[in-house]
Amino acid sequence: MSAVLRMQRFAALLFLVLVTSFALLATSAVVAPDADAATDAKVKKAFRVAKRQVGDTYNYGSAGPNRFDCSGLLYFSFKKRTGVHIPRVSRDQYRYARSINKSKMHKGDLMAFYNSSGSVYHIGLFAGWNNGKRIILHSPSTGSTVHRSPLWTNKWKAATLRNR
């Protein structure tokens, strides 16, 4: 076999390998966003459920349908609309979620508030921005209702249930 023929066969084989590799990469690039979109859709649905609870009364230990504590609101919203069973209390909900950078938050992501010892004591859902301030949707305390409010502290962590 001549050197020219060997070079032509090698070039053809290399071309086939490259085309196959690009085809595989293109296929995986198309599949991954669909999976992300599905989990992102669940978070959006849960957020819509939580928004419908605005005005419902705070009640310690309650998880709906008309009374909520902070973690009960999240538990109810995810379970009811998405079938996602998250833990019941705020500390465990934060641990169950995936930590993210605050700059990467989407509506419906978790905002977990912590005390000086680092323990999570309150949780809510990121509701967007208003006049340059982050807004939380939450059920904060006795005598209050589910509502939106601007942040009152910098002692909070961001987490998400997207891709969960």
pLDDT at 143 exceeding the cut of 90: yes
Distances in whole angstroms, Cα of residue 25 to Cα of each of 12, 34, 52, 129, 160? 20, 15, 42, 37, 27
52: in domain: yes
What pLDDT, on the 0 to 100 scale, is given for residue 25? 44
What does the alpha-carbon distance between residue 81 and residue 63 come to, in Å, rounded to a whole number? 14
User: Can you give the residue range of the structural domain that contains 113?
Assistant: 37-160
Q: Which two tokens stand for residue 71?
A: 């973690």
pTM: 0.77
Contacts of 67 (CB under 8 A, 6+ apart): 56, 57, 58, 59
What would the two tokens of residue 162 be?
């997207």
Give the percent of the chain with pLDDT over 70.
76
Mean pLDDT is lowest, of 7-21, 60-74, 127-141, 142-156, for 7-21
Better-predicted residue by pLDDT, 37 or 24: 37
d(CA 62, CA 115): 22
Kindly state whether residue 107 falls inside one of the protein's structural domains.
Answer: yes
Binning pLDDT at 50, 70 and 90, where does residue 17 land? very low
Residue 128 lies in a domain: yes
Confidence at residue 3, expressed as pLDDT on a 0 to 100 scale:
64
- Could you give the number of structural domains in the chain? 1
